[in-house]
Structure 1
Amino acid sequence: MTTTRHRTSPVRRPSFTGNLAWSMAGNGGYALCQWFVLVVVARLGTPAMVGDYALGLAIGAPVVLLANLSLRTVLVTDPNGEHPFRRYLSVRLVGMGVAMGVISAIVIAFGLSPAVVLLVGAAKAFDGIGDIYLGLLQRHHDQRSIAAAQLVNGGLTVALVAALLWGTSSIAWAAAGSAAASALTWLMCCAPFAGRFRNRPDPRVRQHTHRAAGGVAELLWTALPLGLASGLSSLTVNVPRYALEHRLGATALGVFAAAGYLVLTGNVFFSAIAQTLLPRLTELRVHGTPAGFRGLLWQSLLGVGVAGGLGVWAAWLFGSEILRRLYGEQYAGASGQGGRVLTVLTLATVLGGLCFVLDAGLSAARRFTGQLAVNAAVLLAAGLGALLLVPRYGVLGAAWATAVAALVHCALKWEVLRRAL
């Protein structure tokens, strides 16, 4: 064991509100660009193309998230700096290689179109590599650089997908544009931005203890429960999509995905709050008071609940018209069904936003194992909901299955955090 002591002068950090603003700008801009990608595919292509692209995401995202092992969260909440950044990076690189192997095996086993699924999976894998660099920036409260990288990634993705789809009329080439944008962002933005902090000690940490023997195994053992929980969470979100594609085909999945992408704005808002909360809650857990920890958590839950209620009300009033104007008549559905789907998905997003905040509290408290058990139960709820509701109600049934899973998720996370506190 080797121990190195660092003496550092106080570093002025951005304010919480400033970091929250940058986080919302970065996450919001990135989500907006992801939605623009869907609009481009819907306008230049067909609902089936939207469905093919959404299927690639539905397969690639859970696999990559599982392979991510939520190392970014572990890095941000590492209380004593026990693992060097290069260890996190090495594990992430290996994980992304394994993820691409698993995605390839899924393509072969189920006879899927290889080009779209593999290229969308590659885009997610490149994003995963860049994500660990963003974790280092987050640990040092540099949300501005994180936002810049997200905006570059989103802008490049829209530009390349639009250009290639317009020039080739091929969804596979569009997916290749998405993968290229993610790779360029990793190499040109994420790695250079984080390079400023690679050798800079964290001002919160008085001692850095880096174990040479068993270091990677120890890191994997710490991260595995949370990584499995994240993978299960992504799989839960996509279970209704699998059921829709299997039962009604790519066109129905495309209609559902179009409505789902509209509520990404809410996810981005809630994710920005959680990302900004996480390092603050970690500091309150280590150096602050239980009352301060609880107070910040309750304020955040209240803010998410109020903002989410307004979003559900807006979707109920204007959902069908928004879908009609953005995507076309076939996405709005007959008798305003598209609006009902959007309203239910918005409700599910609000419940998910509460879970984002609860997850931040659990992660700051380093309660990773409990999250795995909860997410396994939620996956079961999503599967049962999709099995019962999709065959009878179609796209609307998939939306309700998503909302039921989100409600179970929120209730269980609340109980786990209550016990932890």
Structure 2
Amino acid sequence: MQLLDKSQKNMSSKRFSLKRNFTYSLAGNLSYAFSQWIIVMLIAKFGTPEMVGRYSLGLAITAPVFLFLNVNLRAIQATDTKNEYQFIDYFYNRNITNLIGVLIVLCIISGLNLNKETQIIIFIMSICKVLETICDVSFGLFQQNERMDYVSMSKIIQSLLSIFFVTFAIVTFNNLFLAVVLNGVSFLLTFIFYNLYKIYKITGIKLETEVFNIKNNFSYKKVWSLFVIGLPLGIAASLDSFNANIPRYFLQYFMNEKYVGYFSAIFFIMASGGTIITALAQSATPRLARLYNESIKQFALLLKKLIVFALVLGLIGIILSLFFGDLILSVLYSPDYSKFNILFILLMIAATIWYISSFIGTALMATRKFNSQMLIYIITTVVSVIGAIFLIPSYGLLGAGLLIILSHIARLIVTTFIYCKIIKNRVR
């Protein structure tokens, strides 16, 4: 394992600039977001709103489970400037939690009043999550070494495979089950034929052989320690996902899968802007982590630049939805979706608030004050649940849009308060 430390030191000398890493990260995240949007678009155009709703419900059920158990290892890796853990420790942790995640999803769907087809789709989507999160743990290694070009290329390869496979399944057979299965295969192929080689290039170990050398490589203490360290992040991430999916849960309960489909399709447009924000946040995280320790003034300056970028991007989205919303929804999906343009506008307003709070949250992550993340999402989730109870039964889809705005305002307020408190203590 000494080879790992030596190799990572060699890689650190090859780190790219923030601008270059952002460019790579943006390319990868856009390709991934585009592939996810293509899946929804294909289902909406060639299938039914019920099929979109079934697919979205699968995401809504599996995402919180895996986000909690995966304890945001990528953030821990990216900010691990002292190399306290080896990559193999992260990998073992991820696979153990993935197994638990599949079992939990099985328990959830067996206890819900869902038809057999929907249950099968959700189970297969849980397997896809396993494959996706295995890729993600390698991204943490790449990000730690500021090689976002590796992350980008992996996402581009997976996205192209996913688009090809899903298009084949939906257009040719109109089969959601086959589309979900093949989407999972795209993650598997990418990890085997690309990610493994890049892992070897950075660490100097062949993961496919070392992972089975449990006697020498597996450390229960380190694997458990990672879970404990990341537990606040896992709770925060799962609450964030749960919070984002609260409108879907309430729409499913008070209305039906058709309206879940309408909401989810339009929400994906909001999420596409988040792809740009996420790309920049991921690129900036290691830089912010170093600046927090070296120069608090430069740390704050970089955050201000990120916030201005978020504000500009959000305003562009609001303007487009106001003047071209009907046309955008008709072209992307079908004319039937254009009647929900007000929902589109509300979601773009929410997106602007979301983008700003995301960057402030990224700065908090860079300080490694992980416990603060949990408090943010607990408060946000409580606000969202209370808001959903009053808004969705009375206003339907528009209530869901207002709920998203309310939840992101709550997140922005709490995140900003905690950030200011931490920086104030740091300056002292």
Counterpart residue number, 2:153: 148
Counterpart residue number, 2:187: 182
C-alpha distance in structure 2 between counterparts of 1:125 and 1:400, whole Å: 33
TM-score by length of 2: 0.91
2:24, 2:152 within 8 Å by CA — same for their partners in 1? yes
Residue identity in the other structure for 1:195: Y
Residue identity in the other structure for 1:68: N
Give the superposition deviation at 1:212.
Answer: 6.0
C-alpha distance in structure 2 between counterparts of 1:42 and 1:185, whole Å: 27
Which 5+ residue runs of structure 1 have no aligned equivalent?
A: 201-209
C-alpha distance in structure 2 between counterparts of 1:395 and 1:420, whole Å: 38
Give the superposition deviation at 1:413.
Answer: 0.5
Q: How does 1:2-401 map to 2 (within 5 A)?
A: 11-112=13-114, 113-199=118-204, 214-286=221-293, 288-333=294-339, 338-401=340-403
Counterpart residue number, 1:410: 412
Aligned residues: 406
1:123, 1:179 within 8 Å by CA — same for their partners in 2? yes
C-alpha distance in structure 1 between counterparts of 2:69 and 2:195, whole Å: 19
Residue identity in the other structure for 2:222: G
Q: Aligned residues: percent identity?
A: 26
RMSD of aligned residue pairs (Cα, Å): 2.0
CA shift in 2, pair 1:26/1:211, >3 Å: closer
C-alpha distance in structure 1 between counterparts of 2:267 and 2:137, whole Å: 27
C-alpha distance in structure 1 between counterparts of 2:195 and 2:352, whole Å: 30
C-alpha distance in structure 1 between counterparts of 2:130 and 2:402, whole Å: 30
C-alpha distance in structure 2 between counterparts of 1:254 and 1:218, whole Å: 40
CA displacement, residues 384-418 of structure 1 (integer Å, 9 cap, x when unaligned): 12111111111111111111101101111011111
C-alpha distance in structure 2 between counterparts of 1:94 and 1:393, whole Å: 42
Give the superposition deviation at 1:5.
Answer: 8.1
C-alpha distance in structure 2 between counterparts of 1:6 and 1:188, whole Å: 25
Residue identity in the other structure for 1:20: F
Give the superposition deviation at 1:170.
Answer: 2.3
C-alpha distance in structure 1 between counterparts of 2:172 and 2:305, whole Å: 49
CA shift in 2, pair 1:211/1:360, >3 Å: farther
Give the superposition deviation at 1:183.
Answer: 2.0
Structure having the higher helix fraction is 2
CA displacement, residues 179-201 of structure 1 (integer Å, 9 cap, x when unaligned): 2222222222223222211249x
C-alpha distance in structure 1 between counterparts of 2:361 and 2:385, whole Å: 22
Counterpart residue number, 1:205: none
CA displacement, residues 216-274 of structure 1 (integer Å, 9 cap, x when unaligned): 23222211111111111011000111111111111101111110111222110110111
C-alpha distance in structure 1 between counterparts of 2:103 and 2:220, whole Å: 28
C-alpha distance in structure 2 between counterparts of 1:99 and 1:186, whole Å: 20
CA shift in 2, pair 1:213/1:174, >3 Å: closer
2:5, 2:203 within 8 Å by CA — same for their partners in 1? no
2:360, 2:416 within 8 Å by CA — same for their partners in 1? yes
C-alpha distance in structure 2 between counterparts of 1:345 and 1:190, whole Å: 35
Which 5+ residue runs of structure 2 have no aligned equivalent?
A: 206-216, 424-428
Residue identity in the other structure for 1:311: G
Give the superposition deviation at 1:129.
Answer: 0.8
2:315, 2:352 within 8 Å by CA — same for their partners in 1? yes
1:413 match: secondary structure: helix
C-alpha distance in structure 2 between counterparts of 1:66 and 1:400, whole Å: 26
C-alpha distance in structure 2 between counterparts of 1:402 and 1:14, whole Å: 36
C-alpha distance in structure 1 between counterparts of 2:218 and 2:299, whole Å: 30
C-alpha distance in structure 1 between counterparts of 2:184 and 2:97, whole Å: 17
2:80, 2:144 within 8 Å by CA — same for their partners in 1? no
Q: Which runs of 4+ in 1 moved over 3 A?
A: 4-10, 210-213
1:266, 1:350 within 8 Å by CA — same for their partners in 2? no
Give the superposition deviation at 1:6.
Answer: 5.3
1:120, 1:178 within 8 Å by CA — same for their partners in 2? no
2:16 match: secondary structure: coil
Give the superposition deviation at 1:355.
Answer: 2.2
Give the superposition deviation at 1:24.
Answer: 0.9
2:326 match: secondary structure: helix
Counterpart residue number, 2:209: none
CA shift in 2, pair 1:166/1:297, >3 Å: same
Residue identity in the other structure for 2:301: G
2:203 match: secondary structure: coil
CA displacement, residues 77-107 of structure 1 (integer Å, 9 cap, x when unaligned): 1131111111111000111111111111111
TM-score by length of 1: 0.92
C-alpha distance in structure 1 between counterparts of 2:155 and 2:188, whole Å: 12
Structure 1 residues 368-377 or 309-318, which shifts more? 309-318
